[in-house]
Chain A
Amino acid sequence: MTDVGALFEQYYEPLVRMLYRRTGDRDRAEDLAQETFARAVEAPPYNPRPWLFAVALNLVREEGRRSVRRGRHLELIRGESPIGTPAPDEEYIREEDRARVKRALAELSDRDREALLLKAEGFNYDEIAATLGMARGAIGTTLVRARRKLVDAYRGEEKRHVAS
């Protein structure tokens, strides 16, 4: 029987990272990862890594489909809104770059993006195919397309950024 605790230790961080890159939203990534492991408790998987990542990616798609998906909201417990402290320059630049990467990733199709992100987590072609339900023979061309698109999109972002 699978020890979910061991799975968690091994895969929580890669899963959150992949989900973060997939959705662009850190909090959402953590929530989805938690939900994924909740399901692993109910039905411990034999082949954990593809299973966990496939479930997680399905959850992303399901959430996207439901038009009532709620975004974040701020809620005041009481009293006034806070006075924000301005972020230091360094952090601002880092944040800008992250936003650029997110926008570039967003230009890929879901499938292409997911294949790329799974590869980034060390999945081999068989695992990517199993996780995404794709033919193994299609993975190579998918990755080529995804990478080219990403590089073009990111470079395009840079040009726009410089020009503005």
Chain B
Amino acid sequence: MSHPDDGVLQELLDGELAPADEAVVRAHIAGCAPCTTALAELKATQMEAEAIVSRLDLDPPLPVRQARPARSARRDLRMLGLAASAVLVAGTSWLLFRSPDAAQRPAKADTASGIILPLPAPERQEVAATTPTAPPAAAQKALRVAPSAKGSGLAAKADRKDEGAAAANEKDVANGARQAMAPPPAAAQRLTADALAPGYTTVADAEARLGNKLRTIAGLTPVSVEVLPLTADSLLAVRQRYVVSGVPVVLVQQLSTDVHYYTGDLKVVPENRSGGGYVSGASEEVKPVIRTWEAWGSLFQLWGALPADSIDALMKRVR
């Protein structure tokens, strides 16, 4: 055969040649000095290119994902059917959380309306297992339970506000969302130098660092949680990214309302695209709605390319 070209040699190196072809090519190379050299050069280039590419990696790395249990996978299948309607349906997930008080953090359901993937829910259960102290009974009453996703969940369109407290449904509690007991607060929460280390982390870790002051959108699990580097004044900010009905939503919490405020990169959400865009029926650009407010000694900013009342509903769920 004539000399194989570089493309064929590369296929050989990548193991992509059919066995018969590979045998032929190898036989040729064995008796051909120029081809042997060419092969060696390609190999060297490949290794060098791979080394170069690998220097560009995710640093800090993405948070570690927890394994998803089978039960929530079934629930997610139902969610997939609902999410396809491309309308933000507030609170159609199983929401079961406790009234937050100074000592308490809300429990989080492990599913939500939209593509939320479980991050800390199993962790939180582990934490609960190792910290046997039970929160006071008074704080344990469930604030509300949203209707089952299978049932009337989708009926809860934008008008229907699920903000009113509903009676806790014990049967739903037993059958429905996994509930995670909030860990009791850690002792002596000072913001140390370690606490200020920037980077991606988990909700549980961010809570630990913030002395349990971290606020999240109840019922949703963030896709990523990032501690943001701030000023030398020991200010701490946390950026959580969520996906709600297919739309990125970002919640930033700055742990102070003092003079130095958070200045961060607010990535403008990509424009809506027609034919499968995020907001049903909208074909022009959707600008993000931004809400900024103070609460619990922190400064919050929540934004996403959703209708204002959806963002407001999410805002009310920040606990």
Contact = CB atoms under 8 A, between A and B. Distances in A.
B231 A27 contact: no
Interface residues of A, number: 75
Given A31-B248, A140-B6, A17 B230 contact: no
Contacts of B49: 116, 146-147, 150-151
Q: Is the interface of A mostly helix, strand, loop or mixed?
A: helix
Given A26-B58, A27-B265, A104 B299 contact: no
A89 interface: no
Contact of B266 (A6, A30, A73, A84): A73
Contacts, number: 193
Interface string A49-80: 00000000001001100101010111111111
Contact of A125 (B11, B67, B260): B11
Given A63-B270, A140-B7, A41 B80 contact: yes
Contacts of B267: 27-28, 31, 72
B271 A38 contact: no
Interface string B226-237: 000111110000
A134 interface: no
Interface stretch (B71-79, B132-140, B150-158, B175-183): B71-79
B282 to A, nearest CB: 15
Interface of A: 1, 3-6, 8-9, 12-13, 16-17, 20-21, 26-28, 30-32, 34-35, 37-44, 59, 62-63, 66, 68, 70, 72-85, 94, 97-98, 101-102, 104-105, 116-117, 119-120, 124-125, 137-141, 143-144, 146-148, 150-151, 154
Given A4-B76, A74-B264, 14 more contacts: A8-B115, A27-B265, A38-B246, A59-B270, A77-B299, A79-B260, A81-B263, A101-B53, A138-B7, A141-B5, A143-B14, A144-B6, A144-B7, A151-B48
Task: Please name the 3 residue pairs, one residue from A and one from B, whose CB atoms are nearest each other, closest first.
Answer: A38-B246, A140-B7, A141-B7
